[in-house]
Amino acid sequence: MTAEIIARLKVFVSYARSDGSALAEELVTALEVAGFEGYLDRHDISAGEDWEQRLDTLIRQADTVVFLITPSAVASERCTWELDLARALAKRIIPVLGLPCAEATIPVDLRRLNFINFAPGNSFARGLGQLVGALRLDLDWIREHTRLGELAQRWEIRERVEALLLRDEELAAAQEWLTNWRAELPAATEAQRSYIAASADAQERRHDEERKRNDEMARANTERAAALARQEQAMRALRRRTILAGIGVAALSAGLAGTTVWAMKQRERALEFYIRRESLRRDIAGQIVAYAAAPGQFAIDSGPSGSSPYTTALLEELAPPGVSLWSALSATSTRVNRSSKGDQRPFISSDMNGDLYLSQPSPTRRQHALVIAVGRYPQIPGVQFDGVYKDLAEWEKFLTARGFTFAGLRDPTLDELRHALDGLSIGATAPPAAPDKGKASTAPEAPPDTLLLVVYSGMGFHFGGEKYIGCKDVTLKDAREATPAPDLPGALRVSELEKRARRLAAASVLVYDTQF
């Protein structure tokens, strides 16, 4: 990374003047020597200026906020205000310990981060080296976060005029930036996502208008060509009959070939347009549930590749960019049914309102995946499935390559599975409002433009009229099919999993590579 690039990176230092001023001054000076642009509210706010408005601007323009932890800073309303603003703008925050503080007084989210220690008795040079190293991580991505945040704010202030939206290569770069996000980076803000999505919508409208103009030109050219053809036909009628026959056959063959090629290209353009339109939709919602086998049928655990035949076929069908999830699931059902000679017959149910293209994902949709593989059941002797671990590895390879935030569970207990589901967070969801007296509370809505994919590979059960997926600690000793019970020990109800998925994401897909 060159000094020229580093010099463009702006660092805002938040501190309390009463006990952090001297260290803050030293830090800004040292950062400037290292090639960064440092900011303090003392130097960068003029007398008589609206400090709150000016601080808002400085923090928005900063790529990173360094919070200097001192007893006065953690108690300061202004420092708290600065920290809250940095969080709201999803800025990268690096905590720096200036003076010892009681842990309980430090904000909870800062306690989770690694402090860089500049407290008395610690080496300033060592701390500075650690700070500079942290600032240099993911420089390009962080800098683009700041730039897009400023562009989104300007667009909002100017009442969302289309002239301020991104176009062409700049839009493609912003969409790629969004898909390159990783969990350790600051999250994109809703303003940034809306700005990029609006830019994509505007560009699609422009492309639609251009296609319409091209279609009109094509129709006009076709009409002119038809007129010329009629004139040529009249001229040919004056020629000798033998010459007319030869020319007529040649012209007919060329015309048919040209029409066929044109029709194929039109179909390809129409498919590309449909896929692009579906991938840019932000309102896709609903749930798809796919079962590897019909109730009562046996699901094959592993095939020649090690993965189950169902997972192998599904991932192969999903790989091409022009294939929708629904088409891939349908083709997989046909393949598995045919290869098993009807012994394993997959089926699908859905209330999804659109098509999903996993190999050509939306640039704005937040995508999470949870894959559960259970192949060992200590309380059920003699039962083990080695193929499920291969399934887990193949799904991880496929999904991470397509921008999913991936979590894999290998032989979890029921508590571990529920804990993983409770920990899934796909977008900010407001807590439910307090109900009026006498009214039932409502669950929070799933965040829009989100997708959750859950895959289970292991052993499924029917018990008491319910379907369950088994965890490592499942036990059947108390199971009685004739006597419905509230729960099967060590197993999760399929209905519970599907309800959780609907609450977590607007669109959810559940794949059960098992039998019930």
Question: What is the greatest pairwise CA distance in the chain?
Answer: 108
pLDDT at 440: 46
Tell me the C-alpha distance between 143 and 86, whole Å: 15
When pLDDT is cut at 50, 70 and 90, the band that residue 372 belongs to is: very high
> Among all chains, which residue has been given the structure tokens 């309390």?
16
Q: Of 270, 258, 468, give the one whose Cα is nearest residue 374.
A: 468
- pLDDT (mean) for 237-241: 53
Supply φ then ψ for residue 291, to 5 degrees: -110, 135
pLDDT at 362: 81
pLDDT at 184 over 90: no
Tell me the C-alpha distance between 136 and 120, whole Å: 25
Tell me the C-alpha distance between 58 and 173, whole Å: 25
What sign does the dihedral 65-70-71-76 (CA atoms) show?
negative
Q: Count of CB atoms within 10 A of residue 113's CB?
A: 11
Most confident of 215-229, 466-480, 496-510: 496-510
pLDDT at 357: 87
- pLDDT (mean) for 417-427: 88
Instruction: Give 396-449 as a DSSP string.
Output: HHHHHTTT-EEEEEES--HHHHHHHHHH---S--PPPPPPPTTS---PPPPPSS
Residue 476 three-state SS: coil
- Classify domain 3-137 by CATH architecture: 3-Layer(aba) Sandwich (3.40)
Residue 26 three-state SS: helix
Most confident of 137-151, 258-272, 439-453: 137-151
pLDDT at 345: 87
> Among all chains, which residue has been given the structure tokens 């991470």?
400
| Domains 3-137 and 286-425+448-513 alike in fold | yes
Q: Of 460, 315, 464, 307, give the one whose Cα is nearest residue 374.
A: 460
> What are the strands of the beta sheet with 460-463, ordered from one edge?
460-463, 466-470, 491-493
Q: What global pTM score does this model have? A: 0.51
Tell me the C-alpha distance between 46 and 42, whole Å: 8
- pLDDT (mean) for 371-394: 87
pLDDT at 101 over 60: yes
Residue 13 three-state SS: strand
CATH code reported for the domain at 286-425+448-513: 3.40.50.1460
Domain residue ranges in the chain: 3-137, 190-279, 286-425+448-513
pLDDT at 282: 85
pLDDT at 57: 87
Better-scored residue on pLDDT, 295 or 474: 474
Return the ∠ at Cα 30 (arms to 24 and 36), rounded to 5°. Answer: 100
Tell me the C-alpha distance between 5 and 138, whole Å: 12
pLDDT at 430: 42
- pLDDT (mean) for 389-410: 92
Tell me the C-alpha distance between 110 and 103, whole Å: 10
> Side chain identity at 87, as an amino acid letter?
R
pLDDT at 431 over 60: no
Better-scored residue on pLDDT, 151 or 250: 151
Residue 468 three-state SS: strand
Tell me the C-alpha distance between 147 and 354, whole Å: 33
CB under 8 Å to 152, separation ≥6 — which residues? 189, 191, 192, 194, 195
Helix (H) / strand (E) containing 310: helix 309-318
Helix (H) / strand (E) containing 96: strand 92-97
Q: Of 466, 473, 465, 366, give the one whose Cα is nearest residue 417.
A: 473
Which two structure tokens, joined as six digits, stand for 351? Answer: 């209330």
